[in-house]
Chains A and B, each alone.
Chain A
């Protein structure tokens, strides 16, 4: 402490990232919280098709198929995540949402270089959370196929029946709890 009562030291600003942690196929996944627009129950979000919330259409993304994960049967904790990134909007079904975590960027570990396949594009990295290892997904990759599917017939997704959420989104969205 200096003579004028001011601290001589400076407060280090540690870069952090906020993650929404969820499980799918017994794997722990983490999504950048800034890309999460909301959470819906399966009853509200529907079991398939497009979800429209506040005039934004969220197309379904089959993350379990893309990661070759065995999916669990629908349970009471199953949720639909509404994701936005780079102008793309998609919905992802997860088995359970564990909550929001803010972690230092230094805790994010890139996947080892021995993983030299396309999975290098799937993940931002790995992070240890409460003794478990979470896969931090690259949001560009998660929503990438949305952009590809948008190139198909513009009416194709509509013909499959979008589900319009007319309810108040604040009531429809389950709040994620801080861990």
Chain B
């Protein structure tokens, strides 16, 4: 994900479930005095969060900041040559493309488009 779509990374706190019909948005988390909706990215990708102390990634979103629970391993920054970014298709999320990292093709998730049924 692009760093300009990330507002911050902090310790994950317990979330509160909110019965909802919005796919992958069914809880909120308290971030200081603010309530942030939680986007279940792990659920969208059908993976499990690893580690006992997950992190909270606060994503910038047109409808307001959104919390995403990620693994406890601190993310790393990587600078890419724009020319190395390739189109990415066939994913369950909107992406900004993908890049090769070793033998792995890593998609770049468009955080600002997560959970948007229609453009904000």
Q: Which residues of A contact B (CB under 8 A)?
A: 27, 67-69, 109, 111-119, 122, 126, 132-133, 135
CB neighbours of A126 from chain B (8 A)? 18, 28, 35
**Closest B residue, CB atoms, query A26:** B17
CB neighbours of B30 from chain A (8 A)? 133
Number of interface residues of B (CB under 8 A): 20
* Inter-subunit contact B63/A114 (CB<8 Å): yes
B117 at the interface (CB under 8 A from A): yes
The listed residue (A27, A132, A133) touching B19 by CB distance below 8 A is: A27
CB neighbours of A116 from chain B (8 A)? 22, 63, 115, 117
A116-B39 Cα distance, complex, nearest whole Å: 13
The listed residue (A112, A117, A118, A133) touching B16 by CB distance below 8 A is: A133
CB neighbours of B21 from chain A (8 A)? 117-119
Q: Which residues of B contact A (CB under 8 A)?
A: 16-22, 25, 28, 30, 35-37, 39, 61, 63-64, 66, 115, 117
* Inter-subunit contact B63/A117 (CB<8 Å): no
* Inter-subunit contact B63/A119 (CB<8 Å): no
| Supplied contacts A111-B18, A112-B28, A126-B18, 14 more A-B pairs, CB within 8 Å | A27-B19, A111-B37, A115-B18, A115-B22, A115-B25, A117-B20, A118-B21, A119-B18, A119-B21, A119-B22, A122-B19, A126-B28, A133-B16, A133-B30
* Inter-subunit contact A114/B61 (CB<8 Å): yes
CB neighbours of B63 from chain A (8 A)? 112-114, 116
A119-B16 Cα distance, complex, nearest whole Å: 15
A109-B34 Cα distance, complex, nearest whole Å: 10
Distance (Å) between the CB of B26 and the closest chain A CB? 8
A117-B28 Cα distance, complex, nearest whole Å: 15
CB neighbours of A135 from chain B (8 A)? 18-19
**Closest A residue, CB atoms, query B17:** A27
A46-B69 Cα distance, complex, nearest whole Å: 43
CB neighbours of A117 from chain B (8 A)? 20-22
The listed residue (B19, B35, B66) touching A119 by CB distance below 8 A is: B19
CB neighbours of A133 from chain B (8 A)? 16, 28, 30, 35
A167-B39 Cα distance, complex, nearest whole Å: 50
CB neighbours of B18 from chain A (8 A)? 111, 115, 119, 126, 135
* Inter-subunit contact A114/B37 (CB<8 Å): yes
